[in-house]
């Protein structure tokens, strides 16, 4: 184990090693507001400002994890299981990445075995040195990892020959799905409007029970997972998902309602740009 530190990663307090059982027991900080999954599943509408704050925290944590800081002995690390369940929210409302059990260290200074099997635990102080990108090394036979619904197309296709940069890009794909889920929770009607039957797009809300002049905040939204509308919520079939996202190149679509406020237009004006640009936008 080694330590890395950043306020956007869950803080590790201590490690207890059970040598007989070959187990590690980790004492970590308590994130009192639970996971992002719990927040989303409550079905409450969130302000755009709240969503942007959460998104920035998540992106900053992943950017730090991916960065290579040679002078601080901090290699590039791929999380490999980015999803709302692994994003925790502290008492002050800030978000942090957690659960690094499937993480892989991308370090050209270590052996192939260490690069493909290393696990990270966590971090202890901010790093401000210049980032060096050295992700060109090949990682052979990297085990498939992650949660099926959030797996990148190249993982679903069964590719096992990755460069370090390619593995990092699979995290970006998973990140994009998390950001999509966050954005579906944005309350796009902050003032009373004639909602009528605005539930034609189920990704936006189920508002048919609201009368004219109601606020969107008066209703609970319909909670959708990525690709749930196409493939269902439970019993996700790997081959069906692979066909949808890899063969058909299907992705969750933005709602027209996202573009109805000036602030969201700034954030989403070019929804189809490269996902990595989204990281740059949110961290700037």
Give Cα separations from 147 to 79, 152, 256, 263 (angstroms): 12, 10, 29, 32
Question: Has 81 been annotated as catalytic?
Answer: yes
Supply φ then ψ for residue 16, to 5 degrees: -115, 125
Helices (H) and strands (E) in the chain, counts: 9, 8
Sign of the four-CA dihedral 65, 94, 170, 234 = positive
* Structure tokens given for 66: 């991916």
Write down how long the chain is.
Answer: 284
**Residue of 81, 121, 171, 199 marked active site:** 81
Q: Which residues contact 155 (CB under 8 A, 6 or more apart)?
A: 144, 146, 170
DSSP 8-class letter at 267 = H
How far is Cα 190 from Cα 152, in angstroms, rounded to an integer?
Answer: 35
DSSP 8-class letter at 188 = -
- By annotation, the residues acting in catalysis are 81
């Amino acid at each position: 184990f080694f330590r890395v530190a950043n306020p956007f990663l869950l803080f590790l307090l201590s490690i207890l090693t059970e040598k007989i059982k070959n187990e590690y027991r980790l004492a970590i900080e308590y994130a009192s507001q639970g996971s992002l999954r719990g927040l989303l599943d409550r079905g409450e509408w969130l302000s755009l400002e709240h969503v942007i704050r959460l998104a920035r925290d998540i992106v900053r944590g992943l950017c730090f994890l991916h960065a290579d800081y040679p002078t601080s002995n901090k290699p590039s690390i791929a999380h490999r299981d980015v999803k709302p369940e692994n994003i925790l929210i502290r008492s002050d409302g800030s978000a942090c990445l957690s659960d690094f059990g499937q993480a892989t260290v991308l370090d050209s200074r270590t052996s192939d075995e260490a690069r493909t099997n290393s696990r990270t635990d966590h971090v202890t102080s901010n790093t401000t040195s210049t980032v060096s990108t050295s992700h060109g090394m090949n990682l052979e036979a990297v085990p498939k990892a992650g949660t099926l619904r959030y797996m990148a197309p190249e993982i679903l296709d069964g590719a096992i020959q990755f460069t370090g940069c390619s593995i990092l890009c699979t995290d970006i794909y998973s990140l994009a799905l998390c950001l999509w889920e966050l954005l579906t929770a944005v309350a796009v009607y902050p003032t009373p409007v004639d909602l009528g039957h605005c539930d034609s797009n189920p990704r936006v809300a189920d508002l048919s029970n609201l009368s004219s002049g109601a606020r969107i905040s008066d209703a609970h939204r319909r909670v959708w997972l990525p690709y749930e509308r196409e493939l269902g919520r439970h019993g996700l079939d790997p081959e069906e998902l692979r066909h949808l996202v890899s063969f058909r190149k299907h992705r969750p679509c933005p709602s027209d309602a996202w573009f109805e406020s000036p602030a969201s237009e700034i954030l989403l004006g070019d929804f189809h740009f490269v996902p990595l640009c989204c990281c740059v936008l949110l961290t700037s």
